[in-house]
């Protein structure tokens, strides 16, 4: 377990040269003011391949928050069971690619849309709980954003307004075992 908690400024970008050299099972960053543009870069969890099970980022301020478009999660995906991220941007269909053990995901203060193929049985076959809290407006939920999730037990989406929900955004053709 590697908790980082601070009420002062947190300056480094977490990447292969710092956090990526550690082998951690649980990573948690709370109450941090970030001065860098992006908190994570590719390789942030490179040293934790095969062992990281949970990542929690809560109450972070400044910078761009957690940019899921940077693909920093890919080293963690194969073993990740729980993902709780605050101030999320650039959610993409490849953000959670090959996350076979992921059971719980919580994205708070999401500044984005939910693109097609984000939550699919191919990417997250064991997902049970999905919680999404938009900072204000959730711009769209695309077709097949939630597709064939055979293990899904709950979905909670909170937003002041959802601008557009495409047909078949919640699409389940698979039969639960």
Q: DSSP assignment, residue 22?
A: S
The span from the CA of 45 to the CA of 56, in Å, is 13
DSSP 102-138: --EEEEEEEBS-B-TTSEETTT-TT--EEEEEESSEE
What is the DSSP pairing of strand 146-147 with strand 170-171?
A: parallel
The span from the CA of 73 to the CA of 146, in Å, is 20
Tokens standing for 140?
């769209």
Using alpha carbons, select from 26, 17, 13 the residue that is nearest to residue 84: 26
Per-residue pLDDT of the chain (177 residues; tens, 9 = 90+): 555 554 555 556 788 888 889 899 999 988 877 776 678 888 889 999 999 999 999 888 777 778 887 778 888 889 999 999 988 888 888 888 889 999 999 999 887 889 999 999 999 999 999 999 988 888 889 999 999 999 999 999 999 888 889 889 998 876 555
**Those residues with Cβ within 8 angstroms of residue 127's Cβ, 6 or more apart along the chain or in another chain:** 102, 103, 104, 105, 119, 149, 151, 152
């Amino acid at each position: 377990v590697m908790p980082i908690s601070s009420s002062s400024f947190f300056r480094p970008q977490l990447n292969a040269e710092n956090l990526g050299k550690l082998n951690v099972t649980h990573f948690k960053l709370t109450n941090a003011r970030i001065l860098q543009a992006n908190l994570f870069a590719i390789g942030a969890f490179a040293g934790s391949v095969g062992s990281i099970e949970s990542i929690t980022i809560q109450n972070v301020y400044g910078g761009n928050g957690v940019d899921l478009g940077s693909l920093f999660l890919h080293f963690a995906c194969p073993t990740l069971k729980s993902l709780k991220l605050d101030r999320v941007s650039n959610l993409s269909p490849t953000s959670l690619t090959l996350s076979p053990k992921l059971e719980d995901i919580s994205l708070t203060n999401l500044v984005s849309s939910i693109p097609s193929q984000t939550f699919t049985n191919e990417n997250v076959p064991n997902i049970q709980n999905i919680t999404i809290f938009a900072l204000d407006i959730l711009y769209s939920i695309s077709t097949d954003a939630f597709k064939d999730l055979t293990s899904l037990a709950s979905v909670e989406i909170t937003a002041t307004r959802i601008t557009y929900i495409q047909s078949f955004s919640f699409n389940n053709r698979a039969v639960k075992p």
